[in-house]
Amino acid sequence: MNHLLILPILLPLFSGCLLLAAFGERLQRGVSLLATLALLPVSVALLQQAAGGQIQFYALGNWQPPFGIILVLDRLSALMLLANGLLAAFALIYAVRGDDRRGRHFHALFQFQLAGLNGAFLTGDLFNLFVFFEILLIASYGLLLHGGGAGRVRAGVHYVVLNLVGSAFFLIAVGVLYGVTGTLNMVDMARHVAALGAEQAPLVRAAALLLLVVFGLKAALLPLYFWLPRSYAEASAPVAALFAIMTKVGIYSILRVYTLIFGAEAGELANLASAWLWPLALLGIAVGSLGALAATTLQGLLAYLVVVSAGTLLAALAMGSQVALSAALYYLLHSTWVAGGLFLLADLLARQRGEKGGQLVQGPALLQPHVLGGLFFFGAIAVVGLPPLSGFMGKLLLLRAASTPGQTLALWSVLLVSGLVTIVALSRAGSTLFWRTGRSMLDSAERDVVRLLATVGLLLTALLLILFARPMLDYAQATATQLLDVELYRQAILGGGA
């Protein structure tokens, strides 16, 4: 059995428990950084194992599927582990420069968040997907409120209440599916769903649509996105950066469940989600773009851009083809890392504007106008999708994935108009932040090299994804092909061929 497969969960989980002890600040930072950075080589090793195309599983307690709890390593889960590990490393490097001092147990919560995220990406069991959702959500409640303040408390209460309702729906849906199919193993459930009788199909359809509501809430699908802008805008910079992957957990869950269990081989329930995702995703792109245009703070603008990226990814999932899914995976990496970098950059700007913070109003002169202006321009080009950075490549691949005249007309119209609106919003923000300034700088303006390097590290992924586009696209295409081959999962997990 490949014990490396469980390490992305155990490493942050044990580190989080250790960090709850009363260590000094320096030791806490050292343990947290060591645990987070150690996830990177582990993720790379698992990615190399998954790249061969073999699906592996880890049977906890050596109880074999479908009876035991399993973790599954395929190309998709390995890619998500790498995306999470890289984002977390830069976010934590930024946080240890002082943001972690704003409240108690920051590092323990950060590690529990990573454990929940990695567990959600690896689990092959629907109930344990719920369990890992709860772990990452409970940790995210604490992280969102880290540092206190009336704005964060209001956003936190909104966030907690909505996600508690979502968790209740999740549990109800899982209970119904278990009652009908008699299993929680996703691959085994797919086998039972494909053989459903006509009298059982309506009940399973209702449970599947309830799951779609839950995952849509996590993925910021219209009209379930309204918790996101305020929560992301109010969170501290490293927390907002880490939260850039939170919507991707919902998108990952939709991709996993609605290709494996309710995909093309699900009989009467085949491709259940597509009809709902397509119109709601396109509307989400439009609403997110208008929200970005109307935003009064840079953090709020960036939060709405997360909504736009979520809608873009969900539109690709709705198309469902191998070409569309491979484009979505490339765009997922781009949108996660660049969004995280932009949230860090927004905080760097706010630290040099005093009480004006991220408000899009005239403020004092910046301490580093050329460096921060260059990074803002770079990040804006990347997130809008202009050449030559990864946003352009990702959107071009998505536009080319439209396979019917109706899809082409709708997707091209919405994405291109959304891009234009986003350019206007970012141009307005940039001109306000860098040109409409006073002549003097604040004495309290902060300049920190480590924070700057962490921000640059995340933003530079937009360039790296272009430089290594060929191997990345090959991997994404192979991942999409693997996802659509349900029989491959059945043979590997239920047939003992892992």
Q: What pLDDT is recorded for position 129?
A: 93
Q: Radius of gyration (Cα) for the chain, nearest Å?
A: 22
d(CA 225, CA 271): 23
d(CA 422, CA 308): 9
- 3-class DSSP assignment, residue 438: strand
Other Cβ atoms less than 10 A from the Cβ of 161: the count is 11
Do residues 65 and 497 make contact, with C-beta atoms less than 8 angstroms apart? no
Do residues 260 and 287 make contact, with C-beta atoms less than 8 angstroms apart? no
pLDDT digits (tens, 9 = 90+) for 444-493: 667 788 999 999 999 999 999 999 999 999 999 999 999 998 889 888 88
Do residues 144 and 239 make contact, with C-beta atoms less than 8 angstroms apart? yes
Please list the alpha-helical segments (H only) found in 243-368.
Answer: 246-260, 274-294, 298-319, 322-351
- How many residues are there in the chain? 498
Question: What amino acid is encoded at 194 in this protein?
Answer: A
Residues sharing a CB contact under 8 Å with residue 47, sequence separation 6 or more, in sequence order:
78, 79, 81, 82
Do residues 303 and 319 make contact, with C-beta atoms less than 8 angstroms apart? no
Instruction: Name the strand (E) or helix (H) holding 73.
Output: strand 70-73
Phi, psi of 438 (to 5 degrees): -75, -175
Cis before 223 (ω within 30):
yes
Do residues 218 and 325 make contact, with C-beta atoms less than 8 angstroms apart? no
pLDDT digits (tens, 9 = 90+) for 395-426: 999 999 888 888 889 999 999 999 999 999 99
In the block, residue with structure tokens 């997990």: 493
Residues sharing a CB contact under 8 Å with residue 353, sequence separation 6 or more, in sequence order:
359, 363, 364, 366, 433, 442, 445
The closest alpha carbon to 203, from 182, 179, 167, belongs to: 179
Q: What pLDDT is recorded for position 498?
A: 37
Q: Which residues of the chain have pLDDT under 70?
A: 1, 22, 440-441, 443-445, 496-498
Q: What pLDDT is recorded for position 158?
A: 82
Phi, psi of 2 (to 5 degrees): -85, 95
Question: What amino acid is encoded at 226 in this protein?
Answer: F
- 3-class DSSP assignment, residue 439: strand
d(CA 256, CA 133): 14
Q: How far is CA 472 from CA 55, 170, 341, 437, 468, in A?
A: 19, 33, 20, 41, 6
Angle, helix 106-122 to helix 246-260, in steps of 10 degrees = 20
Instruction: Name the strand (E) or helix (H) holding 114.
Output: helix 106-122
d(CA 27, CA 36): 14
- 3-class DSSP assignment, residue 52: coil
d(CA 486, CA 491): 9
